């Protein structure tokens, strides 16, 4: 375990390295800030898209129609069997009367409604609206419900489910590509900064090796430097992004409440940043340390 004095020395030396290579340090921090700012923007877009998809998933489901003459007890049994499935969010019972009222409101004019009088042409159309929380499991659920006694017919929303699955795959692919590109750019710039620091201290490092300094003692300040670059490069965009996102959400909520009907269509700033903060610092510090390790592994070979 390193001594406290060694740790203190490493921290001080890492700070001096930042000052000594101000231009490269500022360039690395600026690039890291830009990368993580862009990452945050994409995280906002992708996070809210996934949030919208998740909300849409609960509105995607199957409609289950019962056998004619089915008893109330059997209907309740079916509800229990379906509700306990892991892929089911909730089940809504729609009576024949409710089904007829909905149909009249959406598909008929007053003259057509009057022609039916007191008759209900959908008297055998009582059903369950089964809302699911995982569209990828819709086919499994449909097969299960089809095998239950008392089920006459099932309508599913396969096309909608397939569309949501495709969107989910695209979102994951785009996220992976973006993170990979931005991380590569940041690693390159931090590697350049550390390489410059090693070149500047080349003579000093040679002397330290001659008098018996360990690899840890020589390398630690550079790892501190890389971690500091990553920390500062993550903190700046987080502050900017929080202010921007908070204002955007407040503006949309105030100006378009009537359009959205009071429904929250976006993740709150607190929900987003609860995950974005640790992710950004993890990426920033991780890239800083990785870039440092990659550079030192290559640069310090000449001193062995």
> Which residue from 50, 70, 40, 54 is spatially nearest to 241, judged by alpha carbons?
40
Residues 178 and 248 in one domain: yes
> Which residue from 35, 41, 30 is spatially nearest to 229, judged by alpha carbons?
30
Highest mean pLDDT among 12-26, 32-46, 74-88, 209-223: 74-88
Residues 145 and 26 in one domain: no
Residues 295 and 188 in one domain: yes
Range 185-203 average pLDDT: 68
Q: What is the pLDDT of residues 16-49, one digit of tens each?
A: 666 666 676 777 788 788 888 888 888 887 787 7
Which residue range forms the structural domain that includes residue 23?
4-56+163-303
Among 129, 156, 183, the domain-final residue is: 156
Residue-averaged pLDDT of the chain: 75
Q: Is the pLDDT of residue 2 over 70?
A: no
Residues 42 and 170 in one domain: yes
Residues 136 and 283 in one domain: no
Residues 89 and 43 in one domain: no
pTM for this model (two decimals) = 0.59
Q: What is the pLDDT of residues 115-138, one digit of tens each?
A: 666 666 556 677 888 888 777 778
**CATH code of the domain covering residue 140:** 3.30.70.3040
Residues 261 and 172 in one domain: yes
Residues 150 and 284 in one domain: no
Q: What is the pLDDT of residues 261-299, one digit of tens each?
A: 445 567 888 888 888 999 889 988 888 888 778 777 766
Among 156, 175, 201, the domain-final residue is: 156
Under the banding of pLDDT at 50, 70 and 90, the label for residue 108 is low
Helix ranges restricted to H, the chain: 4-20, 22-59, 72-83, 96-107, 110-115, 138-146, 158-200, 202-210, 215-255, 257-260, 269-299
pLDDT value at residue 235: 93
CB 97 within 8 A of CB 125: no
Residues 194 and 280 in one domain: yes
Residues 82 and 201 in one domain: no
The count of structural domains within the chain is: 2
């Amino acid at each position: 375990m390193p001594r406290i004095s060694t740790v203190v020395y490493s921290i001080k030396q890492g700070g001096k390295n930042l000052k000594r290579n101000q231009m490269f340090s500022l360039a690395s921090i600026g690039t890291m800030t830009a990368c993580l700012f862009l990452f945050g923007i994409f995280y906002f877009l992708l996070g809210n898209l996934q949030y919208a998809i998740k909300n849409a998933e609960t509105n995607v489901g199957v409609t289950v129609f019962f056998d004619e003459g089915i008893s109330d007890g059997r209907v309740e049994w079916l509800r229990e069997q379906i509700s306990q499935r892991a892929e089911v969010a909730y089940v809504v019972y729609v009576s024949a009367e409710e089904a007829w009222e909905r149909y009249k409101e959406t598909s008929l004019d007053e003259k057509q409604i009057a022609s039916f009088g007191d008759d209900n042409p959908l008297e055998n159309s009582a059903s369950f609206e089964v809302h699911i929380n995982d569209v990828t499991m819709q086919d499994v659920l449909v097969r299960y419900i089809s095998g239950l006694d008392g089920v006459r017919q099932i309508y599913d929303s396969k096309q909608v489910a397939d569309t949501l699955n495709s969107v989910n795959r695209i979102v994951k692919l785009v996220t992976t590509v973006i993170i990979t590109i931005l991380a590569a750019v940041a690693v390159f710039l931090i590697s350049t900064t550390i390489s410059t620091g090693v070149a500047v201290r080349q003579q000093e490092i040679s002397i330290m090796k001659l008098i018996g300094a360990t690899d840890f003692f020589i390398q630690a300040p550079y790892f501190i430097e890389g971690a500091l670059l990553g920390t500062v490069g993550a903190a700046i965009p987080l502050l900017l992004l929080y202010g921007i996102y908070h204002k955007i959400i407040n503006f949309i909520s105030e100006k378009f409440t009537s359009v959205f009907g009071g429904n929250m269509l976006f993740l709150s700033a607190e929900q987003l940043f609860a995950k974005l903060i640790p992710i950004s610092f993890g990426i920033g510090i991780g890239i800083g340390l990785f870039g440092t390790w990659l550079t030192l592994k290559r640069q310090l070979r000449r001193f062995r």
